[in-house]
Structure 1
Amino acid sequence: MSSPSNNAASYGFAWLLLALTALTGGVWWWSVGRPVDLPDAPSARIACVSYAPFRKPGETPYNAKFIITPERIDEDLRALSQRFDCVRTYSQGNGLNAVPAIAARYHMQVLMGIWLGGVVKDNEKEVALGIATAQANPQTIRGIIVGNEVLLRGELSPKRLAEYIKTVRVATPPSIPVTYADVWENWLRYPQMASAVDFVTIHILPYWEDNPVATVDAVHHVEDVYERMQHVFPGKQLMIGETGWPSAGRLRRTAEPSIVNEARYLREFLRFAAQVHMPYNVIEAFDQPWKRAQEGTVGGYWGIFNSQAQPKFSMLGPVTEEPRWWLGWLAGAAGVILFIVVGAWPRTWHSARGWLALLLAGFAAGTATAWQLRKMMYACGPLWEWLLSSICLMLAVAVALALARRIAAHLADRYDSTEPASWWRFGSLFALVLYDILMAFNGRYMDFPMGLFALPCVAYAVFGLLTREHAMPSLEQRFLACAAPLLAVVPVVQEVGMNKIAWLWLGLNLLIALPVFVNWRRHAVRLQPQQA
């Protein structure tokens, strides 16, 4: 059983928490709908872009039997030729050896990739196919990239990689330069590789740096790295083989994926590239859904075009993160209607404060649900991910709705004697701690599901402010309430306190845990004189 708290401060904090949550939801949706002024790119055309055609559901380069038809490649390159002068490929498999011949139709050049890994048989087949493609298309191929980040993955030694490079150079037309591509730090680890290539190809991805760089500083970081590498390899032509910014995914310290930030980075980078006249390649043409399995949500959203081959932003003028921002407010209004209809029936109170509580709770829940649904659209791929996320979201809304009924009654000064089942809070805490464990020990590629857990965490925090439980919280709930904040501190520490989302995640853990601590302490104090 519970009894109403007469503490005016608790009631005040409860109102404040409800109002702040509703206001935060409304302001966030409004903010992502505002056009952001950005510097224009020097040109809508881009010198070169990574081309991987695996943009439709189920398509992946890991399926060796899957072949991209020449018709698909022709369709893609015909569209890309309107914006790009060159495409970079990464392998010869899956039908990609047809790219140079098709690119010639549209007067495009190709940085042709030969994929290397740890399997000798596969490498030999790939090298042989790449040599044949180069011999057949010498006028179209701008350069041959033998291996992509194979040293980073540790699948080949520098000596063996150099042998593959030599094999390709000897067997292909001398007019085609040969190189190897890797992150810039690996070129510093293996500087001897410079002698094996005709030009040095480095990858600079500020988002993926060990110390991630915010968008506002990202191009300055590229400038510093580029200048440093020029000093390390004097007299060697230097090319940036990959650079770009993701449009969706997990915040890393202050490096935030978004459409606005992707547009800002590319525009500023293109201005810098034009000033120093350096060769470069942008990653990438299309969003790649298959990469989400490797890198989390962010892996699928590096494209200048989305997976439907539609441009995500313009190179000129303001950019809007979410043009349909009003859907968030519409979801908030739908939440208000749902919470008022369900939360006030049957109604035992007759105070405007009860209606106001349901209005605030419904709007907050609606905007949070819309946020989570938007997140699911980016993050969910297979059907099971959609089903699991949808079930969890519906359960979270149900818990918030059940608690909102009682919260409204308390804030209307009419105590609701019905008490939510204890397993609701246990289930919410258990799910939260389970996700905390995943985030703490394998959170590099995982998103923070703020919209999902905001519903039960805020609802239980407000409910805990208004009630005093007669029974001691169960041992399991006390354990989970202790574990949740401790585990949630880990991402904050891992991100050296710079990730604002990690702090908000910690806040949600504290919100649901604090009422357990308060009732635990209250009953512990009450039991002491009885035991004495």
Structure 2
Amino acid sequence: MKFTPCVLSLLLSSTASAKPLAHEHHMHKRDVVTVVHTVYANGDLYTPPAETADPAPQTAGINAPYAPAPDTTAAAAAGTSSAAAGAPSSDSSSSSGSGTSGLSFGAAIVYSPYSSSGGCKDANTIASEIAQLSAYDVIRIYGVDCNQVPNILSALASHQKLFAGIFNMGSLSSDLATLKAGVESTSSWDKIFTVSIGNELVNSGQQSASSMVSYTNQGRSILRGYGYNGPVVTVDTFVAYYNNPSLCSGSDYIAANAHPYFDSTCSASDAGSWVQNHISTLSSLCSGKSVIITETGWPSQGNANGAAVPSVSNQQAALSSINSLVKGQSIILSAFNELWKSPGSCGCEQYWGVLD
């Protein structure tokens, strides 16, 4: 079998040194003031200086919209008009079961409640933007600030669900209470696909693997008391999972962020194969647990990283590759460009949006 360079390098890194090639930590909260770039090459760890997270707004680049292809398999199985647009099958409600029941979905995407200046988007803006995401069955968010939970839930179509998140472990209990209030004021737990406890906190060095397992178990216990019986996970990078396999025990399924752009040997057209191979490796590492890649994508602007070159056309190629191979196992970063972020050393942090 002939392997492309990035897939071959992935196989060699997995079998020889067990060190992944690269990963970059993305900001997803306004109050986060650093971007952590973690690059693995020959076992060496590199972390560049911290950067400010709130630059002045910049003009967005022109970016051709991307929408996932319809999930015809799900449509045939469900036999409904919503499934024809790639909607989850009728058994996808996560609140009636436990663990990994109801993980089926067609396409998923990350959404941010922050404006270009870093302020909160109002309810009308959120409703207008969520309406543009009708091709996506799952919308992922990271926190409970900006009234985002009720605003987004109110805007979701009948076939859509919310991948909710708690960002700060220091306010875990109070933020879960805020999540509960947002859900119960506008909808029900049936609309929650998953709740994540933390995002890349082991990769960034803010928490240990054992503490995140503990926080995830604590969060699950609170959520069960609230009547939510769906999946509870902690999200971290594939790097963090490879270096801390104990993370596998905390989540109902493996939720890992993995971006092929940060592998300098991977071209845009090979992005899907790259993600697919990491899914396989993570499942093997975690005793066969189901895996969802909770962030992946390709920037439309930024600095070249070897064979990984940001551009509108390469973003299209990468997303087409990802969609063809791991749609239903991955969440695209992100719906719109996020100009409230720092550009980062890659010059790319603001430009992962697929609809701008």
Q: TM-score, normalised by structure 2?
A: 0.65
Q: Which position in structure 2 is the counterpart of 1:176?
A: 230
1:252 paired with 2:311, answer no
Cα deviation, residue 176, structure 1: 1.5
Counterpart for residue 188 of structure 1: 242
Structure 1 residue 239 and structure 2 residue 292: aligned?
A: yes
Compute the displacement of 1:162 (Å): 2.2
In structure 2, do the counterparts of structure 1 residues 192 and 99 end up closer, same or farther at CA, with 3 Å as the change threshold?
Answer: farther
Provide the residue aligned with 1:128 in structure 2. Answer: 177
In structure 1, which of residues 220, 227, 233 is the aligned counterpart of residue 273 of structure 2?
Answer: 220
Identity in percent: 23
Give the superposition deviation at 1:53: 3.2
Report the equivalent of 1:300: 350
Determine if the alignment matches structure 1 residue 283 to structure 2 residue 333. yes
Q: Which amino acid is 2:349 matched to?
A: G
Any conservation in 1 of the 2:130–2:156 contact (CA below 8 Å)?
no
Contact 1:103 1:109 in 2 (8 A): no
Q: CA deviation at 1:296?
A: 5.1
Q: Which residue of 2 aligns with 1:53?
A: 113
Residue type of the partner of 1:160? S
Contact kept, 8 Å, 2:173 with 2:219, in 1: the verdict is no
Post-superposition shift, 1:185? 1.4
Tell me the distance in 1 between the aligned counterparts of 2:144 and 2:122: 13
Give the superposition deviation at 1:80.
Answer: 1.4
Q: Distance in 2 between matches of 1:77 and 1:89?
A: 12
Q: Which structure: greater helix fraction?
A: 1
Deviations 1:469-522 (A, max 9, x none): xxxxxxxxxxxxxxxxxxxxxxxxxxxxxxxxxxxxxxxxxxxxxxxxxxxxxx
Deviation at 1:167, TM superposition (A): 2.2
CA distance in 1, matches of 2:216, 2:152: 20
Cα 1:50–1:175, aligned 2, differ >3 Å: closer, same or farther?
same
Unaligned runs of 5+ in 2: 1-66, 71-84, 87-105
Residue 92 (structure 1) aligns with:
144
Could you tell me which residue of structure 1 aligns to residue 5 of structure 2? none
Are positions 1:142 and 2:202 aligned together? no
- RMSD (CA atoms): 2.4
Change (3 A) 1:55 1:258: farther
- SS class of match (1:225): helix
Q: Which amino acid aligns with 2:292?
A: M
Alignment pair present for 1:158 and 2:209 = yes
For 1:102 and 1:212, the matched residues in 2 are separated by 42
Query: How has the CA–CA distance of structure 1 residues 234 and 159 changed in structure 2, closer, same or farther, with 3 Å as cutoff?
Result: closer
Give the distance between the partners of 1:290 and 1:67, measured in 2 at CA.
Answer: 11
SS of residue matched to 2:256: strand
2:182 and 2:219 map into 1 onto residues whose CA distance is 11
Does structure 1 retain, via aligned residues, the 8 Å contact 2:114–2:120?
no
Distance 1:94 1:202, change over 3 A: same
Give a deviation string over 1:431-462, Cα, whole Å, max 9, x none: xxxxxxxxxxxxxxxxxxxxxxxxxxxxxxxx
SS at match of 2:239: helix
- C-alpha distance in 2 between matches for 1:303 and 1:93: 21
AA in 1 matched with 2:107: A
Aligned to 1:273: 326
Distance 2:246 2:181 in 1: 28
1:145 and 1:178 in contact (8 A); partners too: yes
Read off the aligned partner of 2:286 and give its amino acid letter.
Answer: F
Q: 2:257 corresponds to which residue?
A: 203
Does the 8 Å contact 2:301/2:347 carry over to 1?
yes
Task: Specify the structure having the higher radius of gyration (Cα).
Answer: 1
Give the Cα separation in 1 of the matches to 2:252 and 2:151: 23
The answer (yes or no) to whether the contact 2:213–2:249 under 8 Å persists in 1 is no
Quick one: distance in 2 between partners of 1:253 and 1:52? 29
| Contact 1:55-1:286 at 8 Å conserved across structures | no
CA contact (8 A) 1:103 1:140 kept: no
CA shift, 1:227, in A, is 1.5
Give 1:109's aligned residue: 161
Tell me how far 1:174 sits from its aligned partner: 4.5
Could you list the per-position Cα deviations for residues 120-141 of structure 1 after superposition, in whole angstroms to 9, with x for gaps in the alignment? 2x44433432344456630100
- CA distance in structure 2 between the aligned counterparts of 1:156 and 1:54, rounded to whole angstroms: 25
Please list the CA deviations of residues 136-180 of structure 1 after superposition, one character each: whole Å capped at 9, or x if unmatched. 630100110111101111112223222321222112234321011
Distance 1:190 1:305 in 2: 35
Give deviations 1:163-212, integer Å, cap 9, x for gaps.
32122211223432101111111111221122111111111101123x45
Letter in 2 for 1:177: P
Equivalent residues in 2 for 1:421-460, closer than 5 Å: none
Tell me the number of residue pairs that the alignment of Structure 1 and Structure 2 aligns: 252
SS at structure 2 position matched to 1:226: helix
- In structure 2, C-alpha distance between the alignment counterparts of 1:88 and 1:205, rounded to whole Å: 16
Q: Are the equivalent residues in 1 in contact too, given 2:167–2:199 (CA < 8 A)?
A: yes
Structure 1: state its 5+ residue gaps. 1-39, 61-65, 307-532
Give matches, 1:2-41, under 5 Å.
none
Write out per-residue CA displacement over residues 284-322 of structure 1, whole angstroms, 9 at most, x where no aligned residue: 10011122344553111101111xxxxxxxxxxxxxxxx
Are residues 1:263 and 2:310 paired? Answer: no
Are the structure 2 counterparts of residues 41 and 169 from structure 1 closer, same or farther at C-alpha, using a change threshold of 3 Å? Answer: closer
Distance 1:198-1:41 versus aligned 2 partners, 3 A rule: closer
Supply the AA of the counterpart residue of 1:166.
N
| 1:68 CA drift (Å) | 2.8
SS in 2 for 1:231: helix
Which protein has the bigger strand share? 2
Say whether the 8 Å CA contact 2:165–2:198 is kept in structure 1.
yes
Distance 1:169 1:139 in 2: 16
Q: Distance in 2 between matches of 1:42 and 1:295?
A: 33
**Are 1:67 and 2:117 counterparts?**
no
| Distance of 2:305 and 2:192 partners within structure 1 | 37
Q: 1:155 corresponds to which letter in structure 2?
A: Q
